[in-house]
Amino acid sequence: MLQTADRLKKIPPYLFVELRKKINKAKAEGIDVISLAIGDPVEPTPDSIIDELCVRARDPENHRYPTDEEKGMLAFRQEVARWYNTRFGVALDPGSEILGLIGSKEGCHHFILGCMNVGDTVLMTDPGYPAYRSSILMGGGEPYNVPILEKNGYLPVLEDIPTDIAKKARGMFLNYPNNPTGACATREFFNRLVDFAKQFDIIVCYDNPYGEVLFDGQERLSFLMAKGAKEVGVELNSLSKLFNMTGWRIGMAVGNPDVIAAMSKVKENTDSGIFNPIQYAGIHALKHEAKYIDHLLQIYGRRRKMVLEALGRSGIVFEPPKGTFYLWVPVPKGKTAIEFTNFLFDKAAIVVAAGTAYGQYGEGYIRISLTVTDDRLKEAMNRIEKALS
């Protein structure tokens, strides 16, 4: 048998691949499974964005290698700069502080390969998005788990990170509004984060794809709004959640020019950039479809209320954080996260994500996604209420 790379042995099975296998197996057995586990919006991309793609795809010039290849076409980077200035009041140089990405997920890999050396310690939250750990391990780094707990608003207590670990750390992944907890950061936290990064010479990779998915008056924030943030790191962002473009694979890294240059060098030796028509569609989305975000928030707000009311009737009452289209739900007393996940699957054919899939501090929780149609979500809640009764 041919030998594969040792680095792959360190990487746990990817959560969502395993969930899809479980779902497909049950469906093949004729079970009507409803998955509330994966955050993939079910509503279509707005028609005007699709129309822009179609028009641009008809131009033979766009069938060649992408313009500006790995960086992303200048027009796209200029529109990203305008968006950041309009939405967050953050000024960015399209030439040196913005990099187009094939979805923000690849930015995690490029950040590690461009900025970390083998053996470097990289901080990440627990619970946290599993892809951060995989990126760290693929790059030969050492992940260090920083607990985020409900009593602290699911924000890391930076002062509690051991000094010897902070001194060793070279990078840090953070993600707010947070997947999986839905928690949101604050301006005050960003200021402390910048100070912490400067004190220990840590490069921050702040992942912000849910930055517009906010409820109950929560303030829209970018890490780069903090004074000195561009001196210590970059922010990843994406059009996936804003405009239901998950499958289009288009996003951006913005911030520190040295980090952007390092990520760009990795990218130029990895792929040839984003298909031009997709970049044109992205420009159109950012320029003309901001109103669509409000439409999505109405949909997710309605579904969020539906789930909270149904769970409340079943005795699961909690105060949800104000971001993302996920709900971080405490499991009933006497059950672990895995036990409750299996219970919902066996008794109601409902798939949710166990909190422990995101780290040891996810014990006691499950994550429910609101990215299914209203009728399927209502059916799922009816099944859950029946199972819990």
30/40 same-domain check: yes
Residue 165 is predicted with a pLDDT of 98
Does 114 fall in a domain?
Answer: yes
Does 258 fall in a domain?
Answer: yes
Nearest-angstrom CA–CA distance, 333 and 325:
25
Mean pLDDT over residues 327-340, rounded?
A: 96
Residue 114 is predicted with a pLDDT of 98
267/343 same-domain check: no
62: CB partners within 8 A, 6+ apart: 56, 275, 276, 277, 280
Does 1 fall in a domain?
Answer: no
More confident: 23 or 342: 342
330/347 same-domain check: yes
Residue 311 domain boundaries:
6-45+291-388
User: Residue 385 corresponds to which tokens in the numbers above?
Assistant: 């209420």
Confidence of residue 337 (pLDDT cuts 50, 70, 90): very high
The CATH number given to whatever domain includes residue 243 is 3.40.640.10
Which of 288, 310, 325 is the last residue before a domain boundary?
A: 288
Mean pLDDT over residues 195-211, rounded?
A: 98
Which of 288, 319, 351 is the last residue before a domain boundary?
A: 288
105/221 same-domain check: yes
Nearest-angstrom CA–CA distance, 260 and 254:
7
Which of 252, 272, 288 is the last residue before a domain boundary?
A: 288
Strand extents, DSSP E, the chain: 34-35, 98-101, 121-126, 142-147, 169-175, 203-207, 233-238, 251-255, 326-330, 350-351, 353-354, 365-369
Does 12 fall in a domain?
Answer: yes
116/231 same-domain check: yes
Number of folded domains that form the chain: 2
Quick one: which of 254, 242, 181, 187 has its CA closest to 219? Answer: 187
51/165 same-domain check: yes
332/312 same-domain check: yes
Strand extents, DSSP E, 89-153: 98-101, 121-126, 142-147
Three-state DSSP class for 33?
coil
Does 218 fall in a domain?
Answer: yes
Hey, how many other C-beta atoms are within 10 angstroms of the C-beta on 362? 22
Looking at the chain, the whole-number percentage of residues with pLDDT higher than 90 is 90
Residue 69 is predicted with a pLDDT of 75
Residue 31 is predicted with a pLDDT of 87
Quick one: which of 67, 105, 43, 131 has its CA closest to 251? Answer: 105
Residue 14 is predicted with a pLDDT of 66
119/243 same-domain check: yes
381/269 same-domain check: no
The CATH number given to whatever domain includes residue 31 is 3.90.1150.10
246/315 same-domain check: no
Does 84 fall in a domain?
Answer: yes
Q: What is each CA distance from 140 to 107, 128, 134, 144, 347, in whole angstroms? A: 16, 19, 10, 13, 42
pLDDT in tens, 133-166: 999 999 999 999 999 999 999 999 999 999 999 9
Mean pLDDT over residues 270-277, rounded?
A: 95
Looking at the chain, the whole-number percentage of residues with pLDDT higher than 70 is 98
Q: What letter does residue 323 receive in the DSSP assignment?
A: B
Nearest-angstrom CA–CA distance, 293 and 214:
10
203/332 same-domain check: no
Quick one: which of 15, 7, 37, 32 has its CA closest to 370? Answer: 37
Helix segments in 269-350, DSSP class H: 276-288, 290-313, 337-348
156/206 same-domain check: yes
